[in-house]
Structure 1
Amino acid sequence: MPDPPAPSLLTEIERDLLDNVSVANVLRKLILLGGRAGSAELRDWAAQELRGYADVHVDDLPAYRKIPAIIQMDAVVGPHQVSHQTVGPHELPEEAREHITNQVPFYQGIGEIQAMIDGSGEGKTVRISLPGSAYSRT
């Protein structure tokens, strides 16, 4: 009896999505699908998602890569320690307000984003630093 035919690439992608296969693996298959279908747009988009958007201006990032987030800080103020204190952008020093908002752009490739999520543990928050957070005013 002959072997059953191999599933189509589209069927594989559908199965992978239902089976929670890594997004990176699904994107690789989408690159193949874009090539077979003659869709440079699909192929280019999937490749961009895999490698990230390092050379893209924030205004040109896809909207789904700009995530609303709260700003929280940990600090020692005199004899007191503050943990997870929520800070609004309007409470930041004036020179920082134009650079720091409650929207976080994610330029990383999907593998790095997945590693951040996996490293946060079950039900935990992904923590990232503010741009220029090593800067301190004197």
Structure 2
Amino acid sequence: MLDKDNKLHFFIPSFDNGTELPYISEGIKAGFPSPASDFEETKISLDSFLIKNKEATFYAKAIGNSMTGAGIDNGDILVIDRSLEPSDNKIAICYIDGEFTVKRIKITNQKLFLQPENDSYKPIEVLEENEFMIWGIVTYVIKKMIY
């Protein structure tokens, strides 16, 4: 997350206190209701579900609205895996010229762009003179439902 000095803070998942909660593995229908007796309850730990490589996984809080079209809203928690290979069309945490940003990777005509998912923002072309690194790939977005 960004603090008052505009610095991004990453959080390392804690596996010491994982909590297993009831989980309906067959899913909940978003269409017509299904009798509750059809569901068999099991247990799940969200840490185990969301994190495949715990040594390379971090959380960060999204700030801003440049990625709303990709389902990433201000305040969402991003699950970032640094062990995944970056490629075209993946959403990545990128470090460019001293700042972190979350954008979609776009490769066209041998050029690299950091593509926002909001028409109010312009793509960022990554040039040779930029200090640039793809820091990790976003694997999940955790969001709070607003009521």
Fold equivalence (TM over 0.5): no
TM-score by length of structure 2 reads 0.26
TM-score by length of structure 1 reads 0.27
